[in-house]
Structure 1
Amino acid sequence: MNKSIKVLVPTGCIGSGVRLDLFAQALLEKPDVIAMDGGSTDSGPYYLGTGKTKGSAAVLKDELQVYMKARAELGVPLIIGSSGTCGSDSGVDLLRSICLEIAAELGQSVKIAAIYGEQQAATLTQALADGRVLPLNPPRPVDQALIERCSHIVASMGVEPFIHALEQGADIIVAGRATDTAVLACLPIMRGAPAGPAWHAGKIMECGAQCTTTPTDAMVMAEIDETGFTISAIGPQARLTPQSVMAHMLYENSNPNMLVEPGGVLNVEAATYTAVSKQQVRVEGSVWETSERYTVKLEGAAPAGYQSVLLSVVRGPEYIARFDEWLAMLDAVMRKRIENNLGIGPSDYHLQFRAIGKNSALGGWERHVGTPVEIGVMAIATCAEASRTQDILALLNPYMLHFPLPDDEDLPTHAFPLSPASMDRGLVYEFVLNHVMVVDNPLAPFRFDFTTIGA
């Protein structure tokens, strides 16, 4: 390693906007790479199920143009992982096409690497037969039928595919599903930085400025050297502390001292966090432990059925005070009606009620205790056939409007906030894989396409 390496992370996820003033200040630090995440499973299985992106193409183009101008001026790589929200091949194609369009408009000469990570069912079926598909916790069964039911399956890449693309001279990399950390750790590792500090810096910065105490007023950059890394919060009001930096090891991670990645484990049990200033923290002691076998995580989404929702609002002191009793009775009555009137058995549909305004997000874990004025009741019905789902909501409609408590002499009128009160969501998806695949070659599950535009 000839010199320290600076990794700039301008945003936690491309498409969420960039602070131009902070970015201009960050570029004065002369970063060696501009890198960021492009996706997440946070928004649920729909995006992987359909292969679609959540972001607007117009917003992505506006943001990419800023990064591509800066990349060209500095002569450094631009790296984006988990393209198109879910890392599907179509998501990679989308960002690649936008980059080509911008390069043509700006007259730039660039080499763009597209790294695809969607997996074919036949490939995974063979891996399963070879004993190379292993469950994660909580374990769930997998067989050929489940694999074939998935509409899209992606493998989450580590640093090796990115390094391969960089070694081929890529100026811009748009990759499929990747671990957030690998996107940021790849260039330092390629240039000889110790793996422990490189992976650790990547983990801390994976969500951009969320590791600071001023996430809306900061941009982050890490400078990695032989003994550790220094992370900086960039911006006049930007601040971070050893605690805010250390705390990000807990983000989406079950063990605050260990982070499992493709090919190894990051161990930060002996790491130290020291405040250099109000805007810098020094981290040392991170260790990378290489695993005996190399695995990539698999994410798969499959159709779960056709779904419709129905919303009503319950008011009135007595109904609010006895809401749980009322909802339990409504649920029991409706399940009998669905079977007796529609002939749909319990195993052929899924029905749930969510009480909006009464523990709908946390359920029994809710600690805030209070008496709401009104409660929104959302019924969510899912069936294999759209017509059957609509039948259930049609049957449910009058009950959601008028269902009484057992000792209420007057028929109540609850409220429908919309007309029609029900909405068809169409085909919905579910995550069905929680597994890893063992591979001999870290590049084997991925495909590469290089395109050069300009002179």
Structure 2
Amino acid sequence: MAKKQQLRILCPNGHLGFAPTKEESFFIGAATRPDYYCCDSGSDDIGPAPLGADKSVGMYEWQKHDLELMLVKAREQGVPMIIGSAGDTGSNSRVDLYVQIIKDLAKEHRLPKFKLAYFYSEVDKAYIKKKMEAGVVIEGLDGRSPLTLEDLEKTDRIVAVAGVHPYIRALEMGADVIIGGRSSDCAVFAAPAIWEGFPEDLAYYLGKVLECASFCAEPYGAKETVIGTITHEDVKVTAMHPKQRCTVASVAGHAMYERSNPYYEYVAGGMLDMTHCRYEQYDEKTCRITGSKFIPTEGKIKVKLEGSGKVGEKYIGIAGIRDPYMIRNIDRVVEWAAGQVRETFQGVDYHLDFKIYGKNGVMGELEPVKEIRSHELCVVVEGVAPTKKLAEEITLMGTRQLFYARLPEVKGTAGTAAFVVDEVLPATAAYRWTMNHVIPVDDPMELFQVKMIEVGGDE
């Protein structure tokens, strides 16, 4: 293909479907006719429960809303649309959900035929076990030990985190719309830039700056559209909301947040080095970035694996406390309640947690508080056990025993001391991350197979 001098990618939302995309800035961006519409739809920030339970955390209506905005404009303009980590987790069922939504929207809007590519990210435990038995070490990330067969057996669902490779393969196949399984956030945006011939050094930074959409702009405003422009020399990012700007401070701050080393970030297939990035104010709403570098992984390619395993069923209880004496002695109150549960359920495998909100106006504390100045506390009680009945019983007892705490200097009833919810609420089952590891592969496409179908037209 002819070498392009620049490529413009519209990102409408930092997490598609988590909350609805704001339409005003989206349509402002769409009116500039970008080359691609791309959006990430997943994260491990939401915890292990959605993956383990195989569900979305975003409402179906929100997901459809965001996909509809992108699909209609992308097809109207005849440019590709790319979605990564479908349905929050990128599991197979979430990919199928998004594929079906695209089919439904194509029919609803009577869109002409187009090519829809998709790929799955789930990995079978038998595949991992076979690798381990053959001597392959599945290395842990963030201080974790290598994967053990015991942790593998405790895992309910595994997804591999794709890099740019399946997206590039889909573009090579002529895809108009791509629905991806679990993916590196950067990959969704870096892939089309790399496929169009732009440098990896800049393409991965483009992905980094676009992945959270308007989080890289100021003043703060989520779910607003930004457009990233890549050339062979730089990356520029522009806010579409009339009152937002992408500034040196907002873009650099976003690029370096939430990491122990703010100048490096692991991306699938390598490391993004931002040590020598230079940020300049290009115009009122645009920041220009140069100097980023992508460092490929040496040796075998390693693919990240995320695994979730069920711990037990969960219930939630809520208690409000206003009595000054109980508030001053809240730690004793909580210990009394926990002790009563321990006494009653000896030998039972359970977990009980009390989260105290309102100590001096904040949630909990980092250090012991000598004097609690709050006039009211909220205690959230979380109980986890092997069965729903047992989880409900443990949580209910833990919550009600707050009311019955035996404190010194209390004479007679403490009936006005606390209001305790008389029922507890069922919650999503408790899960834990069993896998945050990397597996070496001979081929970056080893865990991903791209499929293509035709959608629209007379379907």
The TM-score with structure 1 as length reference comes to 0.92
Relative to its length, the structure with more helix (as a share) is 1
Q: Deviations over 1:158-177 (max 9, x none)?
A: 11111011111111111111
Change (3 A) 1:51 1:395: closer
The alpha carbon displacement at 1:80 in A equals 0.5
For residue 29 of structure 1, report the CA deviation from its aligned partner.
2.5
Contact 1:238 1:279 in 2 (8 A): yes
Report the alpha carbon displacement of residue 300 of structure 1 after superposing the two structures with TM. Answer: 0.8
Where do 1:56-205 residues align within 5 Å? 56-108=59-111, 109-129=113-133, 130-140=135-145, 142-205=147-210
Matching residue's letter, 1:190: W
Instruction: Give the counterpart of 2:236 among 230, 233, 236.
Output: 230
- Between the aligned partners of 2:29 and 2:455, the Cα distance in structure 1 is 28
Amino acid paired to 1:111: K
State the SS of the aligned residue for 1:432.
strand
Which has the larger displacement, 184-193 or 383-392? 383-392
Deviation digits for residues 277-328 of structure 1, max 9, x if unmatched? 2201111111111111311111111110122222222221222222233333
Q: Provide the secondary structure at the position in 2 that maps to 1:297.
A: strand
Hey, what does 1:328 align to over in structure 2?
335
User: What is the aligned partner in structure 1 of residue 389 from structure 2?
Assistant: 387
Report sequence identity in percent. 29
Contact 2:323–2:418 (8 Å) recurs in 1: no
Question: Residues 140 and 434 of structure 1 are in contact (CA less than 8 Å); yes or no, is this contact kept in structure 2?
Answer: no
Indicate yes or no: 2:299 matched with 1:281: no
Q: 1:235 to 1:384 in 2, by over 3 A?
A: closer
Higher mean alpha-carbon deviation, 354-363 vs 441-450, is at 354-363
The amino acid that maps onto 2:381 is A
- CA shift at 1:244, angstroms? 0.8
Residues 1:351 and 2:352 aligned together: yes
**Map of 2:55 onto structure 1:** 52
Q: Specify whether residues 261 and 394 from structure 1 end up closer, same or farther in structure 2 by C-alpha distance, changes over 3 A only.
A: closer
Structure 1 partner of 2:39: 36
Residue 365 of structure 1: how far off its partner (Å): 6.8
Tell me, which stretches of 5 or more residues in structure 2 are unaligned? none
Match of 1:265 in 2: 271
Q: Secondary structure at the match of 2:198?
A: coil
Contact 2:121–2:182 at 8 Å: present in 1 too?
A: yes
**Structure 1 residue 74: deviation in Å?**
1.7
Q: Confirm or deny: 8 A CA contact 1:351 1:380 kept in the other structure.
A: yes
Change (3 A) 1:365 1:82: farther
AA aligned to 1:214 is P
The Cα offsets for residues 28-69 of structure 1, whole Å up to 9 and x where unpaired, read as 332111101112222222210111112222232232222111
Q: Using a 3 Å threshold, how does the CA distance of structure 1 residues 454 and 312 change in structure 2: closer, same or farther?
A: closer
TM-score, structure 2 normalization: 0.91
Structure 1: segments with no counterpart, 5+ residues = none
State the AA in 2 paired with 1:320: I
Number of equivalenced pairs: 447
1:391-412 deviation digits (Å, cap 9, x = unpaired):
4345445422221312322332
> SS of the counterpart of 1:299?
strand
Partners of 1:162 and 1:22 lie apart in 2 by 26
What is the CA distance between 1:267 and its match in structure 2? 0.8
CA distance in 2, matches of 1:155, 1:257: 25
Task: Give the corresponding residue for 1:438.
Answer: 440
| Counterpart-to-counterpart distance in 1, 2:171 and 2:6 | 18
Displacement of 1:72 in angstroms is 1.2
Residue 296 of structure 1 corresponds to which residue in structure 2? 303
Q: Using a 3 Å threshold, how does the CA distance of structure 1 residues 321 and 158 change in structure 2: closer, same or farther?
A: same
**Residue 426 and residue 240 in structure 1: after superposition, are their counterparts in 2 closer, same or farther (change >3 A)?**
closer
Provide the C-alpha distance between the structure 1 equivalents of 2:245 and 2:372, rounded to a whole number of angstroms: 36
